Every structure is written in structure tokens, then in C-alpha cells.
Structure 1
């Protein structure tokens, strides 16, 4: 007897899955979890097969019968509906893989496999999201330069020039990936490099005058705030690290016995391991931090979430509260201050200073050699620098 809507709607799960037959091979499979699945049993070339027709109530009884009738028409002319369904699924998957959105996701996945930092991946995803509403659904081979330009012009009109620059660069990255994977013939985003206004170069503010540096150091000593912020601020002048590298310090990286901080490659901008010799002053600051967060993952844990590091704006915010404006000093500025004053001292080789700053050597062979070089000089330089900072703080030039 054929099924009714009431019978389908009232079908309840049992201890074992069971079937409710309709007609023409159509039946409803009721699973133990309560799922109600339409199936069609048929034979082709003497072999019994089954075809999934969807799930109730997404597919009604009437719709299931229409799907059954369509499948049986194909069977009548020796066309296997299961084969047709698999082919259509493969075509949909291929089509999804040729849209800008699909290829952008592949390009980002490639960056993840290449070991790019989580910050880099976040930036790529951020740039992608600016493009998805307008061209995400479009087959990449059909996208015209004007479609990308429309997005960039919209950002330009809002004064978001740096965003426009990054979004264009990301689009170009996706198109180049599509070209090398044989899904596009050219990179239309490359043609737009000169089509929008360029943002003004952003120089990271830094104090380079020793007397003003002394005032900064004295201000830091008098800073009152969250303990982790105070300690991160105090340590910043003594090590030559980028703000993100410092704030994401983990206790597993600190070796007090050897007075060295070893940062894994995935945290470094240049994607290579970096060792930081620690002066006595730096060790003392870290010992203070150990008493505060030694049982946690991060040396400088966030106030509200100790399982996370300080936010990226914490040090800059502290500098603003100390009345050092963004045009004068930034968290990144401690690196510039160290680089300038160390070079001006004439005591240390430029190579040792560059290695301390973890800059990338333009010559790959030379860079590989120098990676392990200058360590002893860097150890001495780290201690001299901390002693020099102490001298500035108490007013000794």
C-alpha cells in the first residue's frame, strides 16, 4: 500500500532501522536516530542498486515520487541514475574549486602548510573577506580587472588606502595560484597596482636621543598598571624583539640556567629560530614575571584571559599613558632605539646587531653562515646594552 503524508510524518524511530514502502521501488528508511531518508531500489543490467533521494521533511512525499519517476525514466533507457548523480556531484565540486572563493581558500591552506604564522593567515583571511561579497562566487577565469577595481575604488573613497593595497596584493596572490594550478591564464589584479593611490609610508616612531631615552626609562620605572604590562614594558628596552614576539613569550622558551630565550621559527617574522641572550637585568625582570605567571603558558598573560598573551596594543597603550605620543615612541620603537644607539656606540659589529634584531640577510648563503655566528659578541652586547640603559636611567651618559 502506498504511503501517506500522515504515515511519513508519524514514523518514529525503533531499536533497529526499518523501511516504509511506497511504490515503484520508493521507500522511506527510518533510522534509530529518527532520521527519515528517501531511497529508491532499482535494477539495471540485472544488478540491484539504491539511490538516495533526500531527507524528509526537506524532501516531501510528493517530491520524492517525482524524483523516483525521473530516475525510472533514466533506467528505462539504460542510464544509471546513481552514475548520473555522482557525475553531477563531481561537476559541482569542480565548479566550486574554480570560483575565486574556492581558490582563495586553497591559497590560504597552502600558506598554512608552508608554516606561515597565525598572524599572517589572519591577514590573508581578512583580505579575502573584502573580496568575497563581490567576486567570491565568480568563476576565476571570468573575472575582469574592473570587478576588482570596483572593490579597490570603494576602499579608496573611504580613505582606506593601506587596506586597498593589501586587498589588491591578496587578489594577485590568488590569481597567481590559479595560474600555476591551470585554472586561470592571467593575473588581472597585477594590472591594478598603479590604479589606486598609494598609502604614505608609515614610519614606526622611536626615541633615538639618549637624553630623551633616559626620560622614557625613568617614566617606565614609575609606571603603575597591570603587573604583566609593567613587566613587559620594563623588558622591552632590554631585548631587541618585535612587539608580537615579546608579548607572546612562553615559559617553555626561557632557559634561566643558560640565560637564553629561544623563540621557535613559527613565531618569528623571518620564519627561522631565534636565540636571545639575556642580560642580568632581563633575567631579573623575567624572574619577577615567573613569580606572577610561572604556572601559566605565557610570560605576559592577558589580564582577563590568562590563557592568552597581552594584546598587541597593550605596550603602545602604556606608552600613551606615560605621555609619549604615537608620533614619538611606539612599542616597535625599542628596536630602532637599540639599533641606532648600538651602532652609534661603535663597539659592536653591524652583523652582530643585525643578528640580534633577527633581520633577514639578503645573501642566503651568508645568512645561513651568520645564523650561528657572533653569539659571544651578542652575549656581551646584551649585557653592555642593559648596563648602558641603567646608566641612562640614573643620569650617567
Structure 2
């Protein structure tokens, strides 16, 4: 006799599990603990089979009957409901592993072993902020060029043209990886560069020597974050990359001996880098220690102090004081290189300070303390030059 909801609700557990039949292979299993679950029994290939149909009351009597009828239809078509269910699970799992986010994280994990920690973090941060929210759950085989273009134009609209170029390149690498691993056949990012407002040969803009005093005046008048202002000044006199500065930790600094040792995992060249600190830099770091000395990072994030400040912080400051398009954080390295070379400093010292490790200027076994005393004098001269008092 078919079941009804009143009967099911009133059914009590017993010392042993037992079943109530609804007919046509559907039954309700009542466990000693009081749980109730649906079962469907059938024969396939001459053998008895059974599959679960869910738990009551999450799966109602009407829903259980509907699922039973679907399973009976499969049997009548010569298909095993149990195998069909497995196929659906595999298809869902495959769909999850073909989403752009899943493949991008897989690609990132594979590639990041050869990258610095900071560089790897920046790439993933860009994906999480600008790409995953829009196409992260989409299958790579379904993403069309126009769809990706619209996502990239959101970055472009912020004026972050260099970032747009880099993110498009990284998306293209993810799609190439997906093609190589058999999960899509077309790379929708490959032809988008011509549709974006990005100059592929774009150089990082930098200041000429005569422009520095006016920039410093604008920087000193900036009323925003003192943390970012000091970060900008340190970037100017150390020659490190923006990513190396913003991820700096306090345990890397020896202020008494005016040195900063950047660990190899954060360096682009995967080599530790010893930076001599001019007296101005030490003073700024002492000031920063009062502000952030209790944190791990010298420049902790505004919203989460357990993470470093945003990669855009310094460039945003530069834009706010009126130098957008005329200078970038990375441009300070070019500025340093130009001024020091024009002054006649040894190219090997300069390249070592910029951590280029140019094989033509730095020969023999790499030594992260190489030319340290020379570089110390050079950077002190440079800091005095860049931050020289302006005559009234």
C-alpha cells in the first residue's frame, strides 16, 4: 500500500532498522537513530541493484516518487541508474576542473615554483580581484574573446594600462595551458591586444634630474597616508622593485648597521640581495617602526595588516599628486640608473644595486654582498642628491 506523509511523520524508530514500502521499488529505511532515507531497488542485467534517493524530509515523498519514476525510465531504456548517477558526478567534477579559476590556480601552482613569493602573490591577487569575480566559474572552453575583452576593459577603465597588458598576458598563458592539457581548443586572449588601449612597447616613465625637486615638494605636501609617502621615499633611494619593498618584513632590517637583506624567495633573480641604507632611509625606517613595528610587514595592508599593502598604493599616490602618466613606482629604478651612470659611477655597482646581476658587468660567483662598501657610498651620494634642500 502506498505511503503518505502523515504515516511517514508518525513512524517511530525500532531497535533494528526496518523499511516501509511505497511500491514500484521505492521504500523508506528507518534507522534506530530515527533517520529516514529513501531507497530504490531494481534489477539490471539479471542482478538486483539498489540506489539511495535522499533523506526524508529533505527529499519529500513526492520528490522521491519522481526520482523513482526517472530511474525506472532509465531501466526501461537499458541504462543502469547507478552508472548514470556516477557519470553525472564525473561530469560535474570535470566541469569544476575546467573552470577558468580552477585551471588558473593549477597553472599558478605549477609556475610559481620558479617565481619569487611576491611575484606569485601579485599574479594571484590580480586574478582574484579582476578576473575570477567575472569569469572564474566559467568553463574555459565556453569563454569567448568578447567576454574576456569586457572583463579586461574594466581594468583599462581605471587607467591601469600596464596592468591590463600584464593580466591579458597571464590569461593567455592560462588558456595555452588549458589547451595543452586538453581542456579547451581556443585561446580567446591571444588576439585581444589590438582591441585594448595598451602600448606593447611601453616604457616605465621616470623623472629627469631637474624635475625631482618639484616632485619632492608635491610629495611632502601630500596629506594622505604617511605610510605610502615613506614607502615612496624609500623606493626612490634604494633602487629595489616595488614588490620587494611593499613585502618587506621587519626581521630583514639591521638599522644599527644600516642594511636590509631581501631574501632570495622575494627576488626576481632568486638571489638574496643586500641593500645598504642611506642615513635618510634609516631615519624613515625608524619613523615607520613607531607606526608598524608591531606587525610583520613594514608596510601592512590598510584593510588586513597581516598582508602587505596593495601593489597599486605607490602609483595611486603618484597619480594623486599630479604625476599620473609621467612617473610610476618602477620608474624610480630607471631614474636612479640614469643619474648614477651620468655621474660616472661604476656600472657594475649600479647593476648590482638594481639586482640585475648583468653577466657582462658582474662576473664570477654571485655574492650578494658584492661591492657593498662601494654601493653604500654611491647610494648615500644619490640620496643626498635626490633629497638635497632646495634653495629658497
Task: Give TM class, smaller chain.
Answer: 0.7 to 0.9
Normalised by the length of structure 2, the TM-score is: 0.73
Counterpart residue number, 2:231: 232
Partner of 1:288: 287
Corresponding residue SS for 2:182: coil
Following superposition of structure 1 onto structure 2, how do residues 367-386 of structure 1 map, counting pairs within 5 Å? 372-373=366-367, 375-386=369-380
Task: Tell which deviates more after alignment, 372-381 or 337-346.
Answer: 372-381
Q: CA deviation at 1:338?
A: 1.1
How far did 1:371 drift?
7.7
Change (3 A) 1:17 1:132: farther
Determine if the alignment matches structure 1 residue 27 to structure 2 residue 50: no
Structure 1: distance between partners of 2:181 and 2:276: 47
- Of residues 118, 121, 125, the one that matches 1:118 is 121
Q: What secondary structure is seen at the aligned counterpart in 2 of 1:207?
A: coil
Which residue is equivalent to 2:337? 339
1:111, distance to aligned residue in structure 2 (A): 1.0
Give the match for residue 180 of structure 1.
Answer: 180
- The C-alpha deviation readout for 1:33-64, integer Å capped at 9, x for no partner, is x9754333567789876412134455321231
Q: Secondary structure, in 3 states, of the residue corresponding to 2:237?
A: coil
Structure 2 segments unaligned to the other structure (5+ residues)? none
Provide the C-alpha distance between the structure 2 equivalents of 1:284 and 1:15, rounded to a whole number of angstroms.
Answer: 78
Residues 172-199 of structure 1, C-alpha deviation per residue, up to 9 Å, x if partnerless?
A: 4344223322344554654x35753552
The residue aligned with 1:61 is 61
Are the equivalent residues in 1 in contact too, given 2:264–2:273 (CA < 8 A)? no
2:83 maps to 83
Aligned to 2:270: 272
TM-superposed CA distance for 1:226, in Å, is: 4.6
SS in 2 for 1:123: helix
Aligned Cα root-mean-square deviation (Å) = 4.6
Contact 2:38–2:56 (8 Å) recurs in 1: yes
What is the CA–CA distance in structure 1 between the aligned matches of 2:151 and 2:77, rounded to whole Å? 55
- Equivalent residues in 2 for 1:326-365, closer than 5 Å: 326-349=324-347, 351-359=348-356
Q: Which runs of 5+ in 1 are unaligned?
A: none
CA distance in 2, matches of 1:76, 1:225: 73
Matches within 5 A, 1:126-275: 126-127=130-131, 131=135, 136-137=138-139, 139=141, 147-149=144-146, 152=149, 162=161, 169-170=169-170, 172-185=172-185, 187=187, 189-190=189-190, 192=191, 196=195, 199-200=198-199, 202-209=202-209, 211-217=210-216, 226-256=225-255, 259-264=258-263, 267-268=266-267, 270=268, 272-275=270-273
Shift, 1:328, TM fit: 4.0
Deviation string 1:211-246 (CA, Å, 9 cap, x unpaired) is 433454566567666543443243222211222321
The structural deviation recorded for 1:317 is 5.0
Return the alpha-carbon distance in structure 1 between the equivalents of residues 316 and 133 of structure 2: 28
Partner of 1:177, secondary structure, is helix
| Partner-residue secondary structure (3-state), 1:238 | helix
Change (3 A) 1:15 1:138: farther
Change in Cα spacing, 1:171 to 1:226, as seen in structure 2 (3 Å) is closer
1:390 to 2:390 alignment: no
| Aligned residues between the structures | 377
Alignment TM-score, normalising by the size of structure 1: 0.72
Residue 101 of structure 2 contacts residue 136 of structure 2 at CA under 8 Å; is this kept in 1?
A: no
**What displacement does 1:375 show?**
3.3
1:313-364 CA-partner distances (Å, limit 9, x unpaired): 443455566x553244443332222111111122222x44233223475x7x
Worse overlay, 330-339 or 195-204: 195-204
Q: What CA distance in whole angstroms lies between the structure 2 residues aligned with 1:15 and 1:359?
A: 77
Separation in 2, partners of 1:159, 1:230: 25
3-state SS in 1 of match to 2:297: coil
